[in-house]
Amino acid sequence: MRNVRQGLTLAAVLTGLLTGCAAAEDDTDSASGRAGASAGTSTGTNAKVAARGGSVGASGSACELPVVFDVAEFWKAKAVDAEEASAATGDLADLADALLRQGPVTMACEIDAKPAGKIGFLRVWTGEPGDADARTVLKGFVTAEKGASKAVYRTFTSGDVTGAEVEYVTTSELLKESKTEHALAVSTPKGPVVLHLGGMDTQEHEAMLPAYELAKSTLHVSAG
């Protein structure tokens, strides 16, 4: 009975991921590959920041992570147990592995925008400690996403944390539609961390950018 409940829980998680994910693959990090105006607004020093609703990352929070950052008002965080998903069998295990592992990192937390009236997630991915810097990890993350192109990388600083950030476009072969996505990566003593913001489409993505900016501007390495 416990295995049945785990299977149902995993299926629900994967269903949520399927509705919030799109396929992708890295193309370029040159300025000439920058997405056009229709691909979304670049995040910069004047970017809007969402109102704070809480934080995740610290011990006792919804997701215990190597980093801590603020979450936008009404957004709901939920830890993702990739190890439990990997324990599934058959096609479900293969699907879990494909959705919960991307390049050098594994999904650890997803923060749902639906309670705030938007469709999308801010997802947190973590990796094993190693020598790879944040930019290398981020490139590996984007490269592993089928359909990604026009990737533009930059360095960002938040307090005493310096990392890499990327804006890119994903195109769905099935829907024949493109949309903008953002992600950032930082290195910590416990391994790399990637924050990724997707969305149903570019318009929804842009509406959620203030939540991403809040997370980026408050990001710091966990003391735990």
CB neighbour list of residue 175: distance below 8 Å, 6 or more residues apart: none
What are the C-alpha distances in Å from 91 to residues 18, 21, 48, 51, 148?
15, 18, 42, 41, 25
Identify the pLDDT of residue 13.
46
CA 142 – CA 208 distance, rounded (Å): 20
Tokens coding 134? 């944040």
Residue 96: what residue type? A
CB neighbour list of residue 201: distance below 8 Å, 6 or more residues apart: 177, 179
> What CATH number is attached to the domain comprising 185?
3.40.1000.10
Identify the pLDDT of residue 177.
86
Q: Is 13 left (phi over 0), alpha (psi -120 to 50) or beta?
A: alpha
The pTM of the full predicted model, rounded to 2 decimals, is 0.78
CA 94 – CA 73 distance, rounded (Å): 34
Number of domains in the chain: 1
CA 25 – CA 61 distance, rounded (Å): 32
Identify the pLDDT of residue 62.
97
Identify the pLDDT of residue 134.
97
58 lies in which domain range?
A: 2-221
Identify the pLDDT of residue 172.
81
Closest Cα partner for 142 from 166, 160, 159? 166
Pairing of strands 193-197, 161-172: unpaired
Q: What is the mean pLDDT of each run of 10 residues along the chain (224 residues)?
A: 37 42 35 31 63 96 97 97 68 72 95 96 96 96 92 94 96 84 97 95 96 97 84
